[in-house]
Amino acid sequence: MILCKTVRALQKEIKKVKGTNKTIGLVPTMGALHAGHASLIEAANKENDIVVVSVFVNPTQFGPNEDLDSYPRTLEADCILAEKMGANIVFAPTPSEMYPSRDMTWVEVSGDITKVLCGATRPIHFRGVTTIVAKLFNLTQPERAYFGQKDAQQVQVLTRMVKDLFFQLELRIMPIIREEDGLAKSSRNTYLSKKEHKAGLILYKSLRKAEQLFISGQRDAEKIVEETIQIIQSEPLADIDYVKMYAMPELTPIDGPMKGRNLLALAVKFGKTRLIDNTILEVK
């Protein structure tokens, strides 16, 4: 496995691959890799000849009072896991490699899709995500790029970006990987105290209950959301940022009984740690 720390080094490696007819799978990450990331790398390894994993804590997607400085950085362990799962190249640039000047080009998806849910509490977040992912797409020119359903809104925003900017690649979306107890794997789980981790299990429980309501025939989105909120509020350590349901793919409000695919998404703080989770409720 090759570790590239500069844009030039990565471009050199990509040029070599593009001279052959090998396919490239890209897995963008912020590092502190866990089983969720591993599942993406594994899928990329199965479906492509060359797997590039990027490890970059992207400053432009963090708000001023967020955890950019304290975000876990574990490059050595990340390289070991990435290689074990089949990565050929790990790209771990510095911020100045990715953002060489203060004046810069932004890639921004407009509309409700970036303003609801996480976009409401993290107003610059998705502009940072789309800008860095567009840069990574241009640098690695992958046939396929791998993202997790854990970040459901990110998936919808990136789908729009790929369509609007005519990126010639396939987005591959992988299911949410959870701890044995149900908590969705996240690099931020390391911030949680034991008590907070235990309290966080309420998220999984509330989503399972919402799924049960839906399976038993409930098609009133508001009722499902209300029930989900009530369950989460039964946990004293849970501080809700949002619990909402929107119609996919554009994350538009649900008018009347649910139809098609709907995203029930939540963000809840436990102490200083903000966790997100979601489920898709599909009327077939």
What distance in Å separates the CA atoms of residue 260 and residue 283, rounded to the nearest whole number? Answer: 5
148 part of the interface to ligand AMP, by CB under 6 A: yes
Q: How far is the CB of 208 from ligand AMP (least distance, A)?
A: 16
Judged by CB under 6 A, which of 147, 167, 191, 214 binds ligand AMP?
Answer: 147
The piece of 11-19, 69-77, 114-122, 145-153 that touches ligand AMP (CB under 6 A) is 145-153
What distance in Å separates the CA atoms of residue 99 and residue 239, rounded to the nearest whole number? Answer: 35
Judged by CB under 6 A, which of 60, 141, 187, 273 binds ligand AMP?
Answer: 187
Residue 247 contacts residue 254 (beta carbons within 8 Å):
yes
Active-site annotation holds for 34: no
Residue closer to ligand AMP, measured from CB, 27 or 258: 27
150 part of the interface to ligand AMP, by CB under 6 A: yes
36 part of the interface to ligand AMP, by CB under 6 A: yes
Which residue, among 112, 117, 154, 109, has the nearest Cα to 264 in the 3D structure? 117
Find all residues with CB under 8 Å of 224, minimum gap 6, and list them. 210, 213, 214, 218, 245, 264, 281
Question: Amino acid identity of 77?
Answer: A
Q: How big is the CA angle at 132 (ends 250 and 95), to the nearest 5 degrees?
A: 150
The residue number with the shortest CB distance to ligand AMP is 148
Q: Which residues bind ligand AMP (CB under 6 A)?
A: 29-30, 36-37, 39-40, 147-148, 150-151, 174, 176-177, 184-187
* Catalytic center residues: 37
